[in-house]
Amino acid sequence: SAAGPLKNTTNRWVGSAVAAGPLADEADYRAVLTREFDSVTPENEMKWGVVEATRGQYDWSGADAIVSYAKRTGKSVRGHTLVWHSQLPDWVDDLEAGELRSTVKKHIKTTVSRFKGKIRAWDVVIEAFNEDGTRRETVFQQKLGDGYIAEAFRLAHAADPRAKLYINDYNIEGINPKSDAVYELVRSLKKKGVPIEGVGIQTHLALQYGFPTTMRENIERFARLGVDVAITEADVRIPQPTDAAKLEAQADFYEQAWDACHAVRRCVEFTTWGFTDRHSWVPGVFPGEDDACLFDEDLRPKPAYHRINP
Ligand code: XIL
């Protein structure tokens, strides 16, 4: 009874994280992805720990498969991610500062150049802040200092000048100390002429924590800095067991996030972190929580889907 595919109901990019395994193996997964979305984000396939688990030995198989699917089906691609403390190859941890700097440089150049012209937007640096707004003490922060973020953006821009470059984090949906810190950083980077063009708001929500009611205001203040905003990883976890009332509450959360984005012209993308409960990171990382996606395990649209696409 929906109006049509989700991607046709809005002039924003409507995306999903996608995993190369099911994309290759499951025709029904592929069919729903192709029908409903016009942007894809590789869920893991471009992460440093995947593409260069062993120093100097690259594996682009998953990333290439997703990028070629996107080309075949006319989807836009969000690149994810270049500088992140997690899913980092072990060997990177042991490098001393000078070598770490040149290695990060090589990683950014190699990865961005490989997909030059094929990526609409890159998550250049993600999760750089703690909840209190201080810098997260990652290997990059500790060994390269505050300037590592500006440097990463300059390197990515040099490798693909047309890709939109984003900083990205979680728990920055509403106005809070962490989103304040991202705001101040973006402001200072823009002032220095660093090529940053967007803020990615992950939007991993959970019913039990409530909806971040200042989301719209927060998106508006970022837009006023002169950058785009993207919802990059939306999902809404349900404490188990799932029931009809919780599915309605989940629909409310999705609708509020969708509306917050659509209220601001510069919020240009609404991407979910997977689209089916059949394949979601949630149960593996948050025991006792599940069913965070728009489609159920059998790829049937859930109340949340109907709410944003009535
Ligand atoms: C997650 C993937 O979904 C999992 O498959 C993987 O095991 C861990 O990473 N924030 C991000 C994403 O930016 O890259 C993470 O993806 C989820 C949290």
Task: Please report the ipTM that was assigned to this predicted complex.
Answer: 0.98
Q: Ligand 1: which of 43, 47, 173, 272 to mutate, judged by most atoms within 8 Å of the beta carbon?
A: 43
In a domain, 246, yes or no: no
Residue 270 belongs to some domain of the structure: no
Q: Is 216 domain-assigned?
A: yes
Q: What is the number of domains present in the chain? A: 1
Domain of residue 229: give its range: 12-235
Q: Which amino acid is at 256?
A: Q
- Does residue 148 fall inside a structural domain? yes
What is the structure's pLDDT at 64? 98
Residue 129 has pLDDT above 70, yes or no: yes
Ligand 1 pocket, Cβ-based, cut-off 6 angstroms: 43-44, 126, 202, 233, 281
The percentage of the chain sitting over the pLDDT mark of 70, rounded to a whole number, equals: 99
Q: What is the CATH number of the domain that holds 133?
A: 3.20.20.80
250 pLDDT band, cuts 50/70/90, is very high
Instruction: Decide if pLDDT at 151 tops 60.
Output: yes
- DSSP-derived secondary structure for 280-305: -SHHHHSTTEE--SSB-TT-PBPHHH
Percentage above 90 pLDDT, the chain: 99
- Measure 235 CA to ligand 1 centroid, in angstroms: 12
Check residue 3 and give its pLDDT: 72
**Per-chain mean pLDDT for the chain:** 98
Which one from 43, 233, 269, 289 is the annotated catalytic residue? 233
3-state secondary structure 196-249: CCEEEECCEEEHHHCCCCCHHHHHHHHHHCCCEEEEEEEEEEEECCCCHHHHHH
Q: What tens digit of pLDDT does each residue of 160-212 get?
A: 999 999 999 999 999 999 999 999 999 999 999 999 999 999 999 999 999 99
Residue 127 falls in the annotated catalytic set: yes
Q: What is the pTM of this model?
A: 0.98
β-pair partners for 198: 166, 228
Confidence of residue 75 (pLDDT cuts 50, 70, 90): very high
Q: Give yes or no: 99 in active site.
A: no
CA distance 250 to 236: 6
257-306 pLDDT tens trace: 999 999 999 999 999 999 999 999 999 999 999 999 999 999 999 999 99
Ligand 1, pocket-test mutation among 81, 199, 273, most atoms within 8 A of CB: 273
